[in-house]
Structure 1
Amino acid sequence: MPKENRLKKVAPILKHYALEPHFVEELGRIRKIYTNKGIFALKKIDPKHGGDFIRHVQALFQKGYNRIVPIFPTVDGRYAVLYENDLYYLMPWLANVEKENRFERHQQLFRELARLHTLSVKEVSISSEERKEHYENTLLEWEKEREFLEGFIEVCEKKEYLSPFELLFALYYHEINQALQFSEKRLKTWYEKTSEDEKARIVTIHGKVSTEHFLFDEKGHGYFTNFEKSRQGSPLHDLLPFLSRSLKTYPKQSDESVDWIYTYLKYFPFKEEELLLFQSYFAHPGGVIHSAEKYFRGESKGGERKSVKNFQRQFWLLKNTEYVLMKIEEIEAKKAQEKAMAEAQAQAEAQEGAQN
């Protein structure tokens, strides 16, 4: 779009902020605006997401959480402008300066995410019927996945010649099934511990946590942006998608992911039952099972080669996740052992003091 047209497009919007645009850079849904009062970011969103996300951002500011890229009000106090069926809001432009390495940036992201959840946490009532329904529906869905795995492996075993996909599935079947068993076991333990509970913790979740939505200023301070999908929910809705994307790569032992998780837990500790549910959902091999289901139903696009490639990548995600879960198991077992030893020592000292 020519420079004159870009300026003409944003001028009516910036008029509500008493700003005069001099130059505009198109960066997807964000425009970098050079004005008579500095550089700003103008973001376009769907109007149906407008009210909720602004309300969540304002609530976080009121609770003292200031690591959000601020949204500037218009001259008449509105936080967004409706123009030609789209909603626009204005923010300061952050340089996103690289002053830290990748690991440190992620550490800061998880620390700030934990603070966001800590400041917005609240307990809500959940009836035992609602909890039971969620548990039974999830378990039923996973049992159907188990039936599919067992059915598909039977089909493969009866064939004299397997396709490349079927051969790979047969090779990985045992490990996929083990991951599903682990998920079910943790879910059942979670339900046993919480079936009588009538409360659960929810937070304001960002809804789309990524390094692209965590920007840095010139001092190296990180700020969350892009809150359009924010809502009230379990903190797992922020953690699990981010970890899944980070681990969806070639096979690796991601000790940094373990560090990220425990950085988060340092500032927002999970209760025992919350950690169980986290482990259950994190371990669930949904991606690799859905890939196999699509192939079995003939819904895969791109032929055998592309199907095999996608299945392999989903299996790598499963194995990368398995390593992180194994490390979590080791850390939690060590913590439990240290706690038991400390309690035993305290009890022994108390008995010794009583005898004296």
Structure 2
Amino acid sequence: MSKENRLLKVAPILKPYALEPHFVEEFGRVQKIYTNKGVFALKKINPKHGGEFIRHVQELFQKGYNRIVPIFPTVDGRYAVLHENELYYLMPWLANEEKENRFERHQLLFRELARLHTLSAREITISKEERTEHYEKTLLEWEKENEFLEGFIEACEKKEYLSPFELMFSLSYHDVSQALQFSIKRFKTWYEKTEESEKARMVVIHGKISTEHFLYDDRGYGYFTNFEKSRPGSPIHDLLPFLSRTLKTYPKKSEECIEWIYTYLKYFPFKEDELLLFQSYFAHPGAVIKSAESYYKGQSNKGERKSVQHFQRQYWLLKNTEYILMRIEEIEAQKAQAKAQAEAQAQAQEGAQN
């Protein structure tokens, strides 16, 4: 699109803001607009999802959370403009120059995410029936996955010659099965501890946490943007997708992921039941099981080599996740031991004084 056409297209959108565009640069769904009153970011979104996320952003501002790229109102007070069946909203354009390395950038992101969750946290009522229904439905799905794994390995063991995929599945079966059993065990423990509870902690979740959605201004302060998928939910719904994307790589012992998780937990500590549920969902080997099911049922159109590669990538994710969970287990055990020792010393000192 030519320079003139871009200006003609954005001019009616910017008119309600009393802005005159001078130059436009396109960055996907975001446009960098140079105007008579400065530089702005104009974002296009689906009108069906427009009003809800703006309400969540305003709610967070009202609660004192100001590390969100602000959304500017029009002259008549609207926070979005509908134009040709598309919804647009306006923000300041942040320089987003990296003043920290990757590790520090993630540390700040997780600290700010914890603050966002802390300020928006509230308790909601969940009936015992709802909790039990969720538990039984999820457990049934996972037990069916376990039955599939056992059936597939039995079929492989009966064969004299295995395909490359079947061979890889056979070699990976123990790890996949162990991960599923760990996930089920944590899930059962969570239910046992919360069966009689009718409360749960909810927060406003960002919905798509990413370093690409955490921008820096010219002073080096970080701000969240892209809140279109924000909604009330459990805090783990922000953490799990981010960790899954980060760990979906070659096998590695990601100590930095441990640091990020515990940076978050320092500012937004999980309750015992929340940590159990986090461990259960985090450990669940859903991606690798789906890959195996797709191959077994003949639903994959990737071919043998690509099916093997896809399964291997999901297996690497499982192993990377396994390491993180093992380290969390170690850290939590050390914390419990230190707490027990401190309590024992306090009791001993109290006894000596008496």
Q: What are the Cα deviations for residues 71-127 of structure 1, in whole angstroms up to 9, with x where unaligned?
A: 000010000000000100000001110110000000000000000000000000011
1:175 aligned partner, one-letter code: D
| Offset from partner CA, 1:216-272 (integer Å, 9 cap, x none) | 111111100000000000001000000000000000000000000000000000001
Q: Deviations over 1:179-235 (max 9, x none)?
A: 000000100111111100010000000001011100011111110000000000000
Coordinate RMSD, CA, aligned: 0.6
After superposing on structure 2, the runs of 4+ consecutive aligned residues of structure 1 that deviate more than 2 Å are none
Q: Does 1:178 align with 2:147?
A: no
Partner of 2:197: 197
Does residue 53 (structure 1) correspond to residue 56 (structure 2)? The answer is no
- Give the deviation of 1:302 after TM superposition: 2.1
Partner of 1:246: 246
TM-score, normalised by the number of residues in structure 1: 0.99
Question: Which residue is equivalent to 2:89?
Answer: 89
Q: Distance in 2 between matches of 1:299 and 1:14?
A: 49
Percent identity over the alignment is: 80
Structure 1 CA distance for aligned equivalents of residues 29 and 297 of structure 2: 37
Give the whole-Å Cα distance in 2 for the aligned partners of 1:42 and 1:228: 14
Q: Give the aligned length.
A: 354
Q: 1:348, CA displacement in angstroms?
A: 1.2
Report the residue type matching 1:311 in the other structure: F
Whether 1:263 aligns to 2:255 is: no
1:40 maps to a residue whose letter is: F
Residue 350 of structure 1 and its aligned partner are, at CA, apart by: 1.4
Partner of 1:324: 324
Query: Can you list the C-alpha shifts for 1:278-327, whole angstroms capped at 9, x where unaligned?
Result: 00000000000000011111111221111111100000000000001011
Aligned twin of 1:14? 14
Give the Cα–Cα distance (whole angstroms) in 2 for the partners of residues 212 and 349 of structure 1.
52
SS at match of 1:171: helix
Shift of 1:151: 0.6
Deviations for 1:142-172, whole angstroms, at most 9, x for unmatched residues?
0000000001111111111111000000000
> How far, CA to CA, are the matches of 2:262 and 2:24 in structure 1?
42
Q: What is the identity, as a one-letter code, of the residue corresponding to 1:27?
A: F
Q: TM-score, normalised by structure 2?
A: 0.99
Distance 1:301 1:255 in 2: 36
Secondary structure of 1:229's counterpart equals coil
- Equivalent position SS for 2:90: strand
Q: Does the residue aligned with 2:33 lie in a helix, a strand or coil? A: strand
Unaligned runs of at least 5 residues, structure 2: none
Matched, 1:236 2:236: yes
Secondary structure (helix, strand or coil) at the match of 1:24 reads strand
Determine the C-alpha separation between the residues in 2 that align with 1:272 and 1:154. 38
The yes-or-no answer on 1:149 pairing with 2:143 is: no
The one-letter code sitting in structure 2 at the alignment partner of 1:114 is A
Offset from partner CA, 1:45-70 (integer Å, 9 cap, x none): 00111110000000000000000000
Give the whole-Å Cα distance in 1 for the aligned partners of 2:220 and 2:261. 22
Question: What letter is aligned with 1:316?
Answer: W
